[in-house]
Amino acid sequence: MNIRRASLTALFTLCAVVFIGGYGLFEARRLIEGPVITIFYPLDGSATSSTGVIIAGTAENISFLTINDLPYYTDKAGHFSELLSIPPGFTVLTVRAVDRFGRRTAQSVSIQVLNYCPINNA
C-alpha cells in the first residue's frame, strides 16, 4: 500500500513539474522569439498617385521602433500607423525594431509613387 501511495505521489509531482515547466515555456515564448514586425499597409510592390502614404502594422515584443530611421511609437496593443510624405518614384519603407535584450528585426515594403502630369487640351 505504501508503494502504491509513493507511486501516486511521484506521479502527481511529475505531472505538476511538467505542467509548471510547460506553462513557463508557454509564457516565455514571446521573450524567446524576439521582436516581431508585421506591416499591413501598404502592400509590397503597390503603386499610388499620392505622396502621402500611410504605413500601418503591428510590432510585438519591442522596446524601440523606427520607420525609415525615425523613432515612432505603438499603442498598448502594439499597433502603429503613420502618415509619411514621400517623393514620387520608387521608395522602400523600412520598419526596424529592437527588444529589451538588444535583438533586432526589420521589415520593408517597396512602393511606387506615380507622378501623373495632367494634359490640358485647351
Q: Return the domain boundaries, the chain.
A: 1-33, 34-113
Q: How confident is the model at residue 29 (pLDDT cuts 50, 70, 90)?
A: low
Question: Cα 71 from chain centroid?
Answer: 15
CA distances from 113 to 43, 45, 108 (A): 13, 11, 16
What is the pTM assigned to this prediction? Answer: 0.68
Dump pLDDT digits (tens) for 47-88.
888 888 899 999 988 889 999 889 998 888 889 999 988 888
CATH code assigned to 34-113: 2.60.40.10
